[in-house]
Amino acid sequence: MAGRVRLAKLYTGYTEGLTGRIYEIETAITPGIPYFDVIGKCDPSVKESGGRIKAALISSGFTFPKGRITVSISPAYVKKSGSSFDLPIALCILIASGQLKVEEGKKIYAEGELSLDGQIKGTPGAGLRLAAVSSCDYCLIPQDETRRLISDLSYMPLSHLKDISEINIDSWYTPQNSFPTVSYEADEESFVDYSEIKGQPKALRSVLIAASGWHNLLLLGSPGCGKSSCGRMISGLMPPLSVREASSVIRINEALGSEDIKTIPVRPSVYIHPGITPTRLMGSSNKLIPGEFSLADQGVLFADELCEYKTEILDLLRIPMEEHKLKHIKDGISYEFPADFLFVGAGNPCRCGLLYETDEVCTCTPAVRKRYLGRLSGPLLDRIDLYCEMRSIKGEDLKKITDKQNRDMNRELKDKVRSCWQMQEERYKNLGMRFNGRYEGADSELLRADSSVVDYAAEVAQKAGFSARGFCKLMRVGRTIADLDQRLDMKADDISEAAVYRRRI
Amino acid sequence: MSGVNISDLEYTAIRFNTGINSRVMSDLYSQGAVNSIRDLTADGLLKLKANMSEYNLQPKTREAIENACKSDSRIREIANEYKDSLEKNGIYTISENDDDYPYLWRCLSGMPKVVFAKGKREILVQCHKKGACSVVGTRKPTQYAMYATEEFTKEIVKAGVVTVSGMALGIDRKAHETTLDSMGSTVAFMPCGPDIIYPYQNKDIYDRLVENGLILSEMPPGREVIKQYFPARNRLIAGLGDVTLIMEAGQYSGTLHTASFAANQGKDVFVLPNNIYSDNCRGGLMLLRDGAEVLLDSESVIDRIRENVSYRYEEEVVEDIYSKIKDLISIRPMSLDEIINITGDKYDLITKVLTDLELQGDVQLRRGKYILTIRS
């Protein structure tokens, strides 16, 4: 034995930001005083894997080889952490020590954490790592990571080291190729509760238009008038995540290191409040952890009490609202995080919040009122398509609350939104977008507005003193209203309704 | 009400081919010898001659009737010629006995009792219900006047108003063309028979008018253009409109005739302010000096037309939801939600009404609620 170096090599994955990469693990067992070391810029969570591996191998009936064991993870210049290297290192040791035989030149991919008794556990970020696996002959992953696959892969799930039953890998390796088809359909009745918004048809309609055409929305009204429940409703009105959307949502949750592995992804609805820090919003460039902006991707970002935010935070909002993504730079490499969300803002119309109320009187002076709403900068408001006032429900409105059953309404509205999305998908399929709210132009042919509609919109825009962007907003909101009606051609009435939601602050 | 009425044609034949002129006509009417144009046919004329002694008619009138009676077969002949020509050219007559005979003409004296028409007859009803606006001006307009004509015509047409002009080159042509382009209704008064295209350069407009507009003339078909008749034609243009817009007029322009007819008929005359150094604009500016209204915005013109229309015709349907909402808001300021909850009307109807009212400047949103605008 003396003088001989026994080597083994296999592959594992590691993520930075949202990109998984394949890493190489090499193990050398050389004669000498027993010793275990992992090299390649590893932090303690990797270094201490030796203890787990030794115990796991022994309790699963293998022997831990004697001698100097050096594990090298390459590329060595990247900082690594986490426990997903346990299983590949253990397998490497088994191969190097001759307890597992693999044909020369065959590639093995493995990942997973070991417990002391040999159980194999999944670790965060699995989805992103497994998406990077392309060509390998054997792919071994923990059983509980299988449901986090976001791409097609041939693999064998392992739950315990004892699953390695024979010395020859081919005799027990039975690959599976099932890409789990999970329906992301959320519970029908969850999310949406209309009781607070009944009797406020304008708010309900704005919410419906926002959800249908992906239009950013600003709700202004007194405290307790139902703004927050409007915000919560929107993501519930949208269709369940498509496979593509779901994979984006899973990726971000994976990057966050979310421990909650078993949840089926639902359309995100992220609530932020005025006390939030820039790092929480943007994510950390240092650790490459996504922030609330990215967590709201494919869903709704609901900013409550919008006028109470610090101006720096409000300025931050503009970046994802304009670019629909964020960039983080770490070690000279740029990492991109998606942040494609529907923005819903809610706020008081004035400092006391009673401006729109009927029975109570607002006590703010005009100067105070102006300063209060003045926090919201022009560029931010420019990005908002729909403005809606709300007030507390009383008197005549209460009669309306008993109007329609929640259930029927839920189904009816959801169906409308769904067919609206289909119409838009068809319209923008050549433009690489999906929603009216994301369309920046006003091509009358694409929007199917004849000259009378365009003339009317121009008249409204002119009388309301709109910029060119305001005119485009009017056109695209009008288009969504036509879509809600399942009409191919726009009418002037669509524009007159759209004008009701125009910006007035 | 469609088609050709032979007695109308005989009347026209009498008026254009015998000594029975407008003075004779007014004598006959004032003495009660004739009650309607239906009494003035070849047969009616003979009957009238027999009963002439019963009325206290002037000698000249008696003479004219006696002369006319001599050529009664000629009158029938001409009427039949007209009839053939009408049928061949798709022309029909409108007489004061028809329901759609312009209401404004009934109130004025000196308007033709029978006119020849080609095109969409229902435009006359629209004139009555929505109002009409005469748009006239020089045949050699400046670019500025052309631009203004187009802009004002568009706005007026959008309000449903019919434009009236004379199918001449320049401003007239522009007014017709813009109206037709905006899918509006327009009426052209010809200085000749309705089957004759004058000026011939406007054949394209003539064809479009036949299709989507209305061509009127008091001249029988086949009658060629007579220069002297132009002012008489202008009185009809002024007579059919509720207001008259003078886009550009030189010092001795025929447009000024239209303006003075309009003023004499008690119509409002709006004049587009124009370059004081241009001779071609002088006539219009003189009108302004004499107290014509300045054409500044289309709203005031449309308001004036609406006001005139309201005296003769009350719109039943459309107005009511608008005024209902205005009444509601006048009680106290109300949000969109409250309006919907109280009226129970459909959401898209209310939003349309509110946006329209807002565009008209009748209501505005203050503190999240709609209020009536206080107008100074």
Give residue limits of the domains in chain B.
6-89, 103-312, 318-372
Asked whether residue A446 carries a pLDDT value surpassing 60, the answer given is yes
Q: How far is CA B242 from CA A434, B129, B142, in A?
A: 51, 11, 26
Nearest CA in chain B to A362: B367
Per DSSP, which regions of A176-299 are E strands?
217-221, 269-272, 283-284, 289-290
Q: Is the complex ipTM higher than 0.90? A: no
Q: What is the pLDDT of residue B132?
A: 94
More confident position, A194 or A18: A18
**The CA-based dihedral angle spanning residues A147, A150, A154, A158, taken in that order and rounded to the nearest 10 degrees:** -30
Three-state DSSP state, A245: helix
> Which of A197, A205, A484, A485 to mutate to test binding with chain B, by most B CBs within 10 Å of its CB?
A205
Residues of B in contact with A225 (CB under 8 A): none
> Which of A209, A484, A500, A505 to mutate to test binding with chain B, by most B CBs within 10 Å of its CB?
A500
The CATH code of domain B318-372 reads 1.10.10.10
Q: Is A500 on the interface with B (CB under 8 A)?
A: yes
pLDDT tens figures, B203-227: 999 999 999 999 999 988 888 898 8
Q: State the CATH class of domain B103-312.
A: alpha beta
Q: Do A460 and B359 touch (CB under 8 A)?
A: yes
- Beta bridge partners, B364, equal B371
| A372-397 mean pLDDT | 84
Angle (CA) A484 A489 A494, round 5°: 55
Residues of A in contact with B354 (CB under 8 A): 500
Q: What is the pLDDT of residue A219?
A: 93
In angstroms, what separates the C-alpha of A354 from chain B's closest C-alpha?
10
Instruction: Dig out the tokens for B215 from the structure.
Output: 């061509």
Nearest CA in chain B to A397: B341
Thinking of the domain A201-407, which architecture would CATH place it in?
A: 3-Layer(aba) Sandwich (3.40)
CB-nearest partner of A397 from B337, B347, B368: B337
Residues of B in contact with A402 (CB under 8 A): none
Q: Which long-range contacts (CB under 8 A, 24 or more apart) does A371-378 make?
A: A372/A307, A372/A348, A373/A307, A373/A349, A373/A505, A375/A307, A375/A309, A375/A311, A375/A314, A376/A306, A376/A307, A376/A314, A376/A347, A376/A505, A377/A311, A377/A314, A377/A315
pLDDT tens figures, A6-23: 899 999 998 888 888 899
Q: Do B338 and A396 touch (CB under 8 A)?
A: yes
Q: What is the pLDDT of residue A118?
A: 92
Task: Give the confidence band of A264 by pLDDT, cuts at 50, 70, 90.
Answer: low
More confident position, A441 or A437: A437
Asked whether residue A262 carries a pLDDT value surpassing 60, the answer given is no
Q: Do B352 and A493 touch (CB under 8 A)?
A: yes
Residue-range domain boundaries for chain A: 6-172, 201-407
CA distance A496 to B346: 14
Low-confidence ranges of chain B (pLDDT < 70): 1-3, 315-319, 375-376
pLDDT tens figures, A269-291: 899 999 999 999 998 888 888 89
Nearest CA in chain B to A458: B359
Q: What is the pLDDT of residue A1?
A: 46
Q: Do A202 and B335 touch (CB under 8 A)?
A: yes
Chain B residues contacting A via beta carbons under 8 Å: 183, 335-338, 340-342, 347-348, 351-352, 354-356, 358-359, 365, 367-369
* A 389-428: CB under 8 A from B: 389, 391, 396-397, 399-400
CA distance B165 to A505: 46
pLDDT tens figures, A107-126: 999 999 999 999 999 888 88
Q: Do B341 and A199 touch (CB under 8 A)?
A: yes
Q: Which of A137, A81, A155, A78 is nearest to A113 (CA)?
A: A81
Q: State the CATH class of domain A6-172.
A: alpha beta
